[in-house]
Structures are given as C-alpha cells and as structure tokens.
C-alpha cells in the first residue's frame, strides 16, 4: 500500500511515530493509502527547518519572493489536470470542482504576486522639525496552518501563499483525510525556487496540532475547520502567546423574496446546496422563501431540478457531485437525516440508501430535501455538511432576516430579489460576515478578504486580501530625527507636537 509521508526541509520524511491514518478512495470505499501521523518529533523537525530558512527568506527582496509565486502559479497551471485528479481521488469531489478548488487557491497566489505593493509601508515626511515617521511590515517568523479536508488545494494556498510572500516560512498540517495534494504543492514550491524549509508539510491529528500550538518556535497559527476545534485552537494558541486566526463551521441561508427571479434563484441554490456533496463552508443548505406562495413555488422547482441531478463517481464528467469523503462522514450525514425525521421536519426527498452500480461501497448520499424545518430543530441549528437542503418558511422579510442573524454561525448568507432597497437593507443589517446579493456562494475574491462572524471565526484577522498581509506581518514604526543647529535642551516632559 502507498505511504503518504511528511515533507520537511525539502525532502520526504517517513516519520517515526509508527502511527498511520487511512486514506480512502471515496468512490469505491477502499483504503487506498496510509498517511503517516506525526509525533512532536516531526513537528519539531519541521519547525526547526522553517526557522533555519526564515532569516534568509525574509531578507530576499519582495520582488524576488513574488517571482517565486509567479513561477509556482505557472507550474500548478501546467499540471492542473494531474493535480485535480489527485485531489478528487482522495476527496471525492468531481474533477471540474477540483480544478475550481485549485484555481481559487491560485487566485490567492496571484494576489501574493503583488506582494511588493502590499508590503509598502507608510511615510510622513516632516512630521516635526527634521523628523520623519515611517512604518514597515516585517514577517513574523515561522507560521503554521492547519487545514480541513474540504478544500485541500484552496485553503493551504490561502495561507502559505500570503505568509511566504510576506517573508515568513511555513509549516502546513493538512487534513489527514486527503493529504496528497498539499505535499505536491510543497514540492512545486521548491521547484518554483523557494529554498528548502520555506514550506514544510507535516501530516497528523490532534497530536501534531497540539505540538504546533504549544511550540515556542511558531509565531502564528492559521486554522480552518469545524467550530469546536477552531475555538480550541484559538484558545490554546493564544494562551501560548501566538497570533491566531481560526475559521469554523457554517450554516448559510439563502433568502428568496417574492419578487425574485425564482427560476434563476432555484438554479443557483441547487449548485450551492448540492455541489461538492454539500461539503463546503460556503454551501447554501438552508433556503428561506418569504411567503407561502414563494415557498410552494420554490419547493416545486427544487423537486423538478432534483429529477435531473446526477450523482456519480468523481471522474464521471456527467456527475454534478460525487461521494462524501469517508464512511464516517456518510454515517454522520445519514444520522442527521434520521434526526430531521424524528424532529418532525417533512422529508421530501431522501438520499439515504443511494447506490451506484459498480460502486456499491462508495460513500454516496443522494440529494435530500426537507421542508417545514423549524428554528428550534437541531438539524437546523447544527451544520450537517452533506447534500441536504432544508426549507425554512418565513412569513415576512423581517422574520426571514432574523433567522441567519440569530443563528450561531455567521459565515455566509444570500438574498435573491429584484428589490435593490430590500437587498441594501439586508446587507447592512444581517449579522453575518459575507453577503451575496443574487450570488449563492459569496466567497470574496482573493484581493478582498474571507471570514465569517460569530462561531464561524475566532480571532480578528480574516484570510487573504490585505487582512492576510496584516495577519502575517508585524508593523514597526520608526521616528527619525536629524537635528540641525544648536544643541536643544533636555525634555523632561512627554514630547508633544505643537
Ligand atoms: P475538522 O475540524 O475535523 O478538522 C480540521 C483540522 O483540524 C484538520 O487538520 C484536523 O486534523 C484537525 N483536527 C481534528 N480534530 C482535532 C482535535 N481534536 N484537535 C486538534 N486538531 C484537530 O474539520 P473538517 O471535517 O476537516 O472540515 C470541515 C469543517 O471545516 C466544516 O465545519 C466546515 O464548515 C469547516 N470549514 C470552514 C471554512 C471557513 O473558512 N469558515 C472553510 C472550510 C471548511
């Protein structure tokens, strides 16, 4: 069986823990590889390698660091098909979606190519007599990233793209469920000209994460995953004196007002709810039609769309989504479907028991639809992370807006309407971090910034865009004085500008 190993100091490292995780082929249900799970020793080796590389890498001028990013982008683009196949083979998402995953990561690399501009500091000429004040952004040192299974291309690039361009070195702890692509990305970074140690990959579970959180050589931690772990990472990392950003789970709502283009809105919601088998933090698993007539029309149109929705293996070009990532995840989603029934929601389409000829052991779940879901139900309050769409009916606009605002998660939300005033009011008032107006998955572009509110994110700085640059740098402010003429008297009171 194939072993997936760590990547430390520019080389493959088997590790000494003797512990391994299983990596599945979600299409067939078979174990296809085992991944080494790090102990603190491998984490130490990776942090030591990153620390050795950092001073020289941080001293490379920003334009040359940007050139490494340009070359990395070229290398990834040249291998897009091979990398997408690798991603799909462990994650289960369809190939076109894997290409999208990598492409969204490359868009952050494109942003990182502009790092000389983003790192420019501020300067005040003549702040006082012979006095100039200027600020510069300096790298933090060694930063670490801990990433989820659902975007094994994009999310590592969100983190290491910006961190490395800013002059940090990086230790990535990717998800142990689909760990191969991040290693290939690290190899390509070396091929692009990043020196050994600038990007290391350590596989593992809680043991590796805790070792990174406690490690005195790690200055910053970026985490993306589920909310309870995000909160844990945030608390433990901050207690160890690190800068931490920790993105968590989500339950994104799509409001449909009576005046919306219903055909378009339902088409948009289908892709956002069921694409990638619902395993996206910006999926749209809750639809809130306003008014009974809208609700009935939406339900009817969703049911019509479900007739033609194709579930298949990840290499099937006709498939709209593939299997979920593991058998355990499939069970979790199916348990939620049962819970929904037990709680009294109406199960309109049941994806349990879905089977694909020739792939009977694959981790497939058919598209599932619930109607008459109520806010007090656990299936509404919690994240399911599967191909399950829930209709929560609201009588008024105010009632609809209150739902995402009151929810424990606040990652993304969308509104479908032709009424600009209502959309504007919604965008201003809703208590959620990322808002779409007639856009079902409002993931901001790389030069903007990504981050939710409430239990969807812990810490102050978002991912990528200028917030990413701020997260991975510290500001130094210099006050310089070049006096002319006679010696000035000592000042015993605090100097002020007069
Ligand atoms: P997860 O929380 O299980 O795992 C995320 C990372 O944490 C992995 O690297 C994993 O190895 C590690 N981990 C798991 N258990 C741990 C523990 N007890 N202690 C320390 N580390 C631990 O998440 P997942 O299942 O891989 O990913 C899905 C989740 O990620 C969903 O909740 C989804 O909404 C969320 N997500 C959020 C965003 C966002 O930006 N807000 C983006 C993508 C995914």
Which residue's CA is the closest to the ligand 1 atom numbered 39? 247
CA distance 262 to 134: 54
Q: What percent of the chain has pLDDT over 70?
A: 100
Closest CA to 337 of 297, 383, 368, 373: 368
Q: Residue 497: what pLDDT?
A: 77
Q: Which residues of the chain have pLDDT under 70?
A: none
Angstrom distances, CA of residue 303 to CA of 61, 308, 333, 370: 57, 9, 20, 11
pLDDT tens, position by position, 335-391: 999 999 999 999 999 999 999 999 999 999 999 999 999 999 999 999 999 999 999
Q: What pLDDT sits at residue 496?
A: 84
C-beta neighbour count of 175 within 10 angstroms: 25
113 counts as catalytic: no
What secondary structure letter does DSSP report for 490? P
Helices (H) and strands (E) in the chain, counts: 16, 23
Q: What is the DSSP string of 228-284?
A: HHHHHHHHHHHHTT-EEEEE-----EEEE-TTS-HHHHHHHHHHHHHGGGG--TT--
The finding on whether 462 has its CB within 6 A of some atom of ligand 1 is: no
- Please work out whether the CB of residue 434 comes within 6 Å of at least one atom of ligand 1: no
Compute the radius of gyration of the chain from its Cα atoms: 25
Residue (of 430, 422, 380) closest to 256 by Cα position: 422
Is the CB–ligand 1 distance for residue 148 below 6 Å? yes
Distance of CA 403 to the CA centre of its chain: 24
Q: State whether the Cα torsion 293-265-257-339 is positive or negative.
A: positive
Helix or strand (DSSP H, E) at 357: none
Longest CA pairwise span in the chain (Å): 92
**Ligand 1 center–CA 90 separation, angstroms:** 16
The pTM score is: 0.97
Choose one of 148, 244, 276, 331 to mutate for the ligand 1 pocket test, by most ligand atoms within 8 angstroms of C-beta. Answer: 148
The angle, 0 to 180 degrees and rounded to 10, between the axes of the packed helices 62-78 and 180-191 is 130
Find the angle CA(409)-CA(411)-CA(417) to the nearest 5 degrees. Answer: 110
Ligand 1 centroid to 400 CA: how many Å?
29
Atom of ligand 1 nearest to the CA of 450: 40
Ligand 1 near 250 CB (within 6 A): yes
Say if residues 92 and 190 touch (Cβ distance below 8 Å). no
DSSP state of 177: S
409: helix, coil or strand? strand
Is residue 432 lining ligand 1, measured as CB closer than 6 Å?
no
Question: In the chain, where does the domain assigned CATH 3.40.605.10 lie?
Answer: 2-248+456-478
Q: In angstroms, what is the span from residue 148 Cα to ligand 1's centroid?
A: 4
**Residue given tokens 């290491």 in the structure block:** 160
Q: Choosing from 4, 162, 281, 369, which is the catalytic residue?
A: 281
Domain with CATH 3.40.309.10 in the chain: 253-437
At a CB cut-off of 8 Å and minimum separation 6, what does 357 contact?
A: none
456 Cβ inside 6 Å of ligand 1: yes
CATH class label, 2-248+456-478: alpha beta
Q: Residue 1's pLDDT is what?
A: 87
Q: What is the fold, at CATH topology level, of the domain defined by 253-437?
A: Aldehyde Dehydrogenase; Chain A, domain 2 (3.40.309)
Q: What is the pLDDT of residues 163-202, one digit of tens each?
A: 999 999 999 999 999 999 999 999 999 999 999 999 999 9
For residue 122, give both structure tokens.
Answer: 């501020």
């Amino acid at each position: 069986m194939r072993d997936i190993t760590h990547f430390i100091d520019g080389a493959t490292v088997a590790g000494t823990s003797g512990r391994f995780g299983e990596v599945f082929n979600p299409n067939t249900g078979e174990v296809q590889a085992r991944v080494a799970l790090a102990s603190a020793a491998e984490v130490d080796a990776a942090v030591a390698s990153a620390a050795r590389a950092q001073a020289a890498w941080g001293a490379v001028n920003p334009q040359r660091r940007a050139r490494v990013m340009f070359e990395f982008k070229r290398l990834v683009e040249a291998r897009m098909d091979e990398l997408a196949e690798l991603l799909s083979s462990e994650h289960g998402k369809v190939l076109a979606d894997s290409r999208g995953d990598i492409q969204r990561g490359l868009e952050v690399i494109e942003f990182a190519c502009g790092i000389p501009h983003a790192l420019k500091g501020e300067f005040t000429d003549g702040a006082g007599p012979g006095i100039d004040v200027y600020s510069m952004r300096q790298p933090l040192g060694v930063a670490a990233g801990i990433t989820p299974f659902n975007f094994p291309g994009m999310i590592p690039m969100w983190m290491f793209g910006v961190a490395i361009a800013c002059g940090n070195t990086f230790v990535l702890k990717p998800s142990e469920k689909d760990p191969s692509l991040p290693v290939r990305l690290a190899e390509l970074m070396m091929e692009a000209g990043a020196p050994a140690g600038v990007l290391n990959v350590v596989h593992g579970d809680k043991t590796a994460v805790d070792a990174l959180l406690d490690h005195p050589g790690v200055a910053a931690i970026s985490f993306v995953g589920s909310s309870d772990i995000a909160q844990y990472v945030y608390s433990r990392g901050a207690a160890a004196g690190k800068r931490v950003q920790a993105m968590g789970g989500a339950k994104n709502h799509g409001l449909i007002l009576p005046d919306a283009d219903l055909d378009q809105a339902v088409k948009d919601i289908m892709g956002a709810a069921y694409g990638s088998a619902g395993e996206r933090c910006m999926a749209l698993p809750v639809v809130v039609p306003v008014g009974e007539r809208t609700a009935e029309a939406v339900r009817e149109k969703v049911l019509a769309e479900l007739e033609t929705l194709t579930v298949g293996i990840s290499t099937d070009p006709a498939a709209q989504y593939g299997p979920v990532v593991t058998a355990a995840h499939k069970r979790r989603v199916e348990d939620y479907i049962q819970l929904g029934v037990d709680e009294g929601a109406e199960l309109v389409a049941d994806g349990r028991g879905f089977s694909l000829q020739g792939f009977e052991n694959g981790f497939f779940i058919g598209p599932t639809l619930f109607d008459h879901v109520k806010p007090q139900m656990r299936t509404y309050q919690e994240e399911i992370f599967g191909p399950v769409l829930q209709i929560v009916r609201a009588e008024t606009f105010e009632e609809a807006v209150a739902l995402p605002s009151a929810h424990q998660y606040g990652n993304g939300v969308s509104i479908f309407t032709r009424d600009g005033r209502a959309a504007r009011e919604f965008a201003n008032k809703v208590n959620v971090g990322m808002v779409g107006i007639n856009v079902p998955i409002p993931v901001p572009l790389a030069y903007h910034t990504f981050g939710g509110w409430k239990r969807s994110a812990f810490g102050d700085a978002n991912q990528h865009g200028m917030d990413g640059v701020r997260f991975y740098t510290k500001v130094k402010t210099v006050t310089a004085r070049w006096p002319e003429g006679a010696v000035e008297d000592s000042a015993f009171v605090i100097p002020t500008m007069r």
